[in-house]
Each structure stands twice: as structure tokens, then as C-alpha cells.
Amino acid sequence: RYPEPEIIKAVMDNLGSVRQALISSELETAFAHFIREVFTPALDKFDLEKQKNELDTISELRPELIYWLAKYGQSSEIITYAESAARSFMTKPTSVDASIAKRALQITALAGDKALFDAYKSHFENAKTPVQRDNYLSAIGYFSSIELQNEALNYALSGPLNVSELFIISRGIRVAGDNGRNLVFHWMMDNYDIIISKIPNEYAGYMPVFAKGCSEERLEKSRQFFAKPGHQAEGTMRNLAKVEDEVNNCVKLRKREGEAVKTYLNQLVNITTK
């Protein structure tokens, strides 16, 4: 009997919390194999499509399984499914289960081009409902092209976004990995005054969160940046201290367990592909 949805979600959450520390670019292929081994049986059990009278926990888990298998598991089958769902949603939103649409758009963006990027922007600007608007805006931050990521970040400041939507795009780009986190971090520094002018004063002290991750170099740059009086607000240094603790813990975990994880994943690939 396969584990309950709550257990699978807990496994997913734990993997998410350690992935940035332990999965380097050279391990992405082996990690993808691991993800397929772990989560494919669950999706096979719960099915790609919502079933009649299924538990809410299953309905909530399905889009996350699809996302993990597509993005981190590199499953061509799931990517194809997500791209089909995204096309259907863009043509007729009601034809796709609401719980799947957002992740499908994000997955499709990963390999998307400028034409798709522009289409997402158009759908966002002309969305008929808040949910549709959020779906497209979040997906704009998932394009892998650096050029499109830069364009997306510019759009976050110049486009018709509400204050509450300002960081949705940057959140998606940070998911891309350390390169994405670096890009967003420098975007924040380059546009600090503009960003601060757009958000309520009580949120200005949270800017150090852009230094989160597992990079000592980025952390040091954030120390230098926020040491300047013009870059400090109520809570800035307190939040920077929290980020420092998180980054240092991440670096320690990587140094302590990195080689063991590398060995395990490579051995798993060798065993399961024989």
C-alpha cells in the first residue's frame, strides 16, 4: 500500500528544504532519476486527472507531483501532459482542472520562448478572474532563458502589477536555482529605491531575504549592501541576521553531507538502470 498523501507531501517538503544545499548542477540528472523513482508510483496511483469523490488531500497533492516530476524529475511524459494542459487552459480556461492550471503554465514556461512569454503577459493583462491573473503572472517567472528572466524582472517594475504582485515574478525566477537567485538578488540591489517606493514601509526591512540560499558570496554582498544607511529600514539588520543563519546552516549542510548524497544518487542510478 502506497503512503498516504500527507506523507508524500511531507517527503516533498523535506526534499525541497535540502535540495538547494545538496543538489548541484552536476547532480541534476541523478536527482531527476531519484525523483522519478520516488514520485512516479504516487502519481500512477492517484492518476493525472481528478477522480470523482477523491480526497481533498489528493487533489492538492496532484499538481505538486506533476510539478516535481516535470521540473526536477525531467519526465518527458509529464512535461508533455503539462504543455497540453497549458495550451488548453490558454484557449479555454474551464477545460482544465483549476488545481492543475497554474503548475501546467509554469512547467510549459521552462522551455518557453519569447512568443510564449508575450502570450502569458497578454493573458495576464486581460485575465477575466483574479485566479487566471495569478496563474499567468506566476508563470512569467518560470522561463529559463536569462534574457526572458531579465525582461520578466523589468516587467515586475514597469508592468500593470498591483503592490501585492510585485514579487511574484522574482519568486519564480529564484526557483530556477542559484543562477536565478543571483539574478534576482542583483535586480533587488540595482532597483532598491524603486522597489522600496512601491511597497508599504513596514515591508522595507525584509529586503535581506533576497540573499537567501546557499551562497557565502551572495551573503557577503548583502552585508556590504545593507551596511549603507540608505539601504536600511526598520527590521533590516534583524532580518539580515536571520538570513545569515540560514545561509550558514545551508553551507554547513552542503559541506557535511554533499559527498554522501552524491554517492547515494549515483549508486541509485547504477542499481535501478541495470
Asked if 86 contacts 108 with a C-beta cutoff of 8 angstroms, the reply is: yes
Instruction: For residue 11, give the C-alpha cell.
Output: 517527503
Residue 110 confidence (pLDDT) = 98
Q: Tell me, yes or no, whether 1 and 102 share the same domain.
A: yes
Last residue of a domain, one of 96, 111, 126: 111
Q: For residue 188, what pLDDT is reported?
A: 99
Domain match, 11 and 54 both:
yes
Domain boundary among 197, 225, 247: 197
Contacts of 26 (CB under 8 A, 6+ apart): none
Q: Report the C-alpha gap between 142 and 118 in whole angstroms.
A: 13
pLDDT tens by residue, 127-155? 999 999 999 999 999 999 999 999 999 99
Per-residue pLDDT of 50-98, as tens digits, reads 999 999 999 999 999 999 999 999 999 999 999 999 999 999 999 999 9
Same domain, 91 and 152: no
Q: What is the rounded CA–CA span in Å between residue 9 and residue 15?
A: 10
Measured over all CA atoms, what is the biggest interatomic distance in the chain, rounded to whole angstroms? 60
Same domain, 267 and 187: no
Q: Write out pLDDT tens, residues 258-269.
A: 999 999 999 998
213: left (phi over 0), alpha (psi -120 to 50) or beta: left
The percentage of residues in the chain with a pLDDT greater than 70, rounded to a whole number, is: 99
DSSP per-residue string spanning 232-270: --TTHHHHHHHHHHHHHHHHHHHHHHHHHHHHHHHHHHH
Give the angle 231-233-236 at the CA atoms, nearest 5°.
85
Both 216 and 167 in a single domain?
no
Same domain? For 208 and 262 the reply is yes
pLDDT of residue 176: 85
pLDDT above 70: residue 1:
no
pLDDT at 2: 64
| Domain encompassing residue 259 | 200-274
- Same domain? 173 vs 86: no
Is the pTM higher than 0.85? The answer reads yes
The tally of domains found in the chain comes to 3
The answer on 89 and 4 residing in a single domain is yes
As a whole number of angstroms, the distance between CA 123 and CA 207 comes to 30
Say whether both 141 and 53 belong to one domain: no
Compare 234 and 2 and report the one with higher pLDDT.
Answer: 234
> Grid cell 516530476 — which residue?
69
* C-alpha cell read off for 116: 510564449
pLDDT at residue number 231: 98
User: Do 217 and 274 belong to one domain?
Assistant: yes
Based on the fold, state whether residues 122 and 107 are members of the same structural domain.
Answer: no
Tell whether 184 and 129 lie within a shared domain: yes
What confidence tier does 179 reach under pLDDT thresholds 50, 70, 90?
Answer: very high
pLDDT in tens, 217-253: 999 999 999 999 999 999 999 999 999 999 999 999 9
Q: What is the mean predicted confidence (pLDDT) over 173-198?
A: 96
Tell me what the pLDDT averaged over the chain comes to.
95
Find the Cα–Cα–Cα–Cα dihedral 114, 150, 214, 171, rounded to 10°: -70
Which residue among 111, 139, 172 closes a domain?
Answer: 111
Does the structure show a pLDDT above 90 at 202?
yes
